[in-house]
Structure 1
Amino acid sequence: MTESPGPSLPGSIGLSHVRSYDWPTEDGLAGGSPHVHLACTEAYVVTHGRGAVQTLSTDGYREHELEPGAVAWFAPGTVHRMVQHEDLRVTVLMQNSGLPEAGDAVFTFPPEVLADPDSYAAAASIPRQADEQEKRAAAQRRRDLAVSGYLTLREALRADDAGPLREFLRAAARLVAPKVDHWRKLWRHGALAAAEHTGARLDRLAEGDPADLESSEVCLAHPSRRDGYGVCGLRDEYEIPGATLPYGGE
């Protein structure tokens, strides 16, 4: 059995385990930082506790209850907020491992923060060299600022006005545009390469050639970091081939 590194996870997905924050915010709910992914679909596999996921899209505002066994997933462009009711824990699966870690998540900060890349980076970051209390405070400030912007978007949607959400998505796209060339390289060497490898394997199998199957392996990974301050909660991370330095994760 091979200890990681080894081949990427199936489909070149990313994997983490998250315990939702239990800090209350301005609307009285506890939970994570509302955000959107621009290039990756995300899935929650609920493993423990109870909670909800609130979503914003041009179709409106939705809330879905989360309980053990439930799976919820969101396409790029869906703003989502994890809400904690009772010790909510989820396994998070991310499409295109490497892209989320490279900044594919954009927080729902107020427009003036989104408009300035330096202000956005300062508000989104958690100092790596800080002590635990400082990291927790930075994560909570980040979450609260994202909730502030999110509530404005939600209230507009409830009034049948998708304009603020559309402007948020435009601002998010402008913010990440300089990163897209780097994302494209990660995608080509990750998810695209995995799909192309499957295609080549199918070609060989069509010829009755089992050569690849003789070099199979089993890999095992353990969390490389536990209880990091992620986007939505305390996060156990894995170092899997294709991933870059964590951006904070779900």
Structure 2
Amino acid sequence: IGRHPWFAEQPVEKQIAIGMWRQANVAKVGLQFESILIRGLMQYSDRLPNGAKEFRYTTHEAKEECNHTLMFQEFVNRTGVDVPGGPRWFRRLSPIVPLFSTIFPSVFYFGVLAGEEPIDHIQKDFLRKDQNLHPTMQAIMQLHVAEEARHISFAHHLLRESIPKKGRFQRFVLSLVMPIVMRVLCNVITKPPREFRREFGIPRSVWKDLFWRSPESRRFLVNVFGDVRMLAEQCGLMNPVSARVWRLMGISGRPSRYRSEPTYTAAA
């Protein structure tokens, strides 16, 4: 948002208010994602057999995610901005989504990555550029990136282990579902709700540029999912049909060569 000419034309006070609202809402929607993840992990671990190695990890991850929700909510409270977080449809479906962890576990973990990868990408990009971040935001990003690295790695490992064991038809269906889940939930995490646009009187043309008409915003979408495209190839989920779905969703591109590959090379 800060790169758009419209934003540069606004008074400093309004720029500050926009930034506060935006960052507070990112924290709030992050909290909502983490809450869904916690409930899904508890549901998933409850169904694991005795001796399952995943039980200890999922329980520890849920504990860390609880700390993240405390951290995010405290940040929202201190900004003093009453933000809604995700769009209304997402908040209404929130009680249902955790059930996917046992009914369709692969799809649930697609959703986990769709929520975690965009935030992780944005935060790492900020930290790598060493921009003049507010100390509170910088501390939150550093802690979140460090702990989410384990969570994302676990989701990648679980999917790499489980998906190749599924039947051919199941793998084909998952290959089509994966890019759709990524694109839909990326919108939830990165695109502010309508309240944001109304609050600050953002013109429709500017809004469309930001999400996702401008070349820069489309590049962002492609860059966010470099690691996920790599995972899709590793799981055998990239085929001629699914590749078309990735393109249709606007998130196709070269897969990362390794996890967390910097944007300037992942986009090459």
Task: Please indicate, yes or no, whether the TM-score normalized by the shorter chain is above 0.5.
Answer: no
TM-score for both structures, normalised by structure 1:
0.25
User: Would you tell me which structure has more strand in proportion to its own residues?
Assistant: 1
Q: Which has the higher contact order (CA 8 A, sep 6+)?
A: 1
TM-score for both structures, normalised by structure 2:
0.24
